[in-house]
Amino acid sequence: MAATATRRSGRRWRSSGRSSRHRTPLPSTSIFFLREKLSIYTSSVKAVQKNSTSKDYIQEEDDFALRRFLRARDQNINKASAMLLRYLAWKRVTKPHGFISEDEVRGEIAKGRDRHQGFDRLGRPMSYLYGGRHFPVRRDHEDLKRYVVYVFDKICTRLPAGQEKFAAVIDLKGWGYANCDIRGYLAGLDIMQSYYPERLGRVFLIHVPYIFMAAWKIVYPLIDDKTKKKFVFVADRDLDATLRDAIDESQLPEEYGGKLKL
């Protein structure tokens, strides 16, 4: 399976021949519109809290966050607004205190499925996920979902100033049918695409066994078209060159031939 690489090309808005009132507003206008929606939502939450003993944590979203929602919906302010409101409602339920504590997911952390260290050559923090260490559960995936949110928030805290994206390596060494968790994969994918838009920069899938492709064929159609281009399958023969091209050896973990210690 040959390694593939993609480069995201810039896209310009093109007129479809419709009148100017149908055109996508300028970014500043779009941000103003979303901030108005955000203000209305926040005010409604505060109004409810006045008559409630529950006091949810309310965190303001900055303009960078609003722009990510706009980019995720190709600058369509109505779609971006719907996405933003869905995110705010989800966050209020999922993270009422603003975050998920380590104590809430300690059992998931103990499974050792992920590691976060180093940066790629574009200054994006690196995450390493080990698919062979994950085993599906027979109950609901609520614990896994909380853990996925915990991991994404942890990644975001490592983003340097001016950097909005992260990169990842998914290592599938040892992955087999016992590790296959379509429901879990789809749950994680939905969280990333719906609530952490425009955060993913690139994902390298390495040590990919042939049988994994059966699971991939189920998941792939449900991935957003923009996100699909960010997944790169790396053949074993190209592994060293591909990782070194993307990550300086000082930032590459020792297990992949670099000099970065645990």
Q: What is the pLDDT of residue 141?
A: 87
Asked whether 226 and 253 are in contact (CB, 8 A), the reply is no
Beta strands 231-233; 166-171: pairing state? unpaired
- 17 pLDDT more than 60: no
Average pLDDT rounded to a whole number, residues 228-232: 97
pLDDT on residue 61: 78
Per the CB < 8 A criterion, the answer to whether 3 and 233 are in contact is: yes
Amino acid 140: pLDDT: 75
Confidence at residue 11, expressed as pLDDT on a 0 to 100 scale: 37
10, pLDDT greater than 60:
no
User: Does residue 30 surpass a pLDDT of 90?
Assistant: no
- Tell me the per-residue pLDDT of 120-171, one tens digit each, with 9 for 90 and over: 999 999 999 999 999 998 777 899 999 999 999 999 999 999 999 999 999 9
Q: Kindly state the average pLDDT of the residues 188-198.
A: 97
Q: What proportion of the chain, given as a percentage, has pLDDT over 90?
A: 67
Determine the Cα–Cα distance for residues 105 and 145; give it in Å rounded to an integer.
10
Give the pTM: 0.81
Provide the pLDDT for residue 136.
Answer: 92
The answer to whether residue 6 scores a pLDDT higher than 50 is no
Q: Where in the chain is the domain with CATH 1.10.8?
A: 25-94
**CATH H superfamily, domain 102-256:** CRAL-TRIO lipid binding domain (3.40.525.10)
Mean pLDDT (whole number) for 224-231: 95
Rounded to 5 degrees, φ, ψ at 202 are: -160, 145
pLDDT digits (tens, 9 = 90+) for 39-51: 776 766 555 555 5
Q: What is the third-level CATH fold of 25-94?
A: Helicase, Ruva Protein; domain 3 (1.10.8)
Q: Please list the residue range(s) of the chain that carry CATH number 3.40.525.10.
A: 102-256
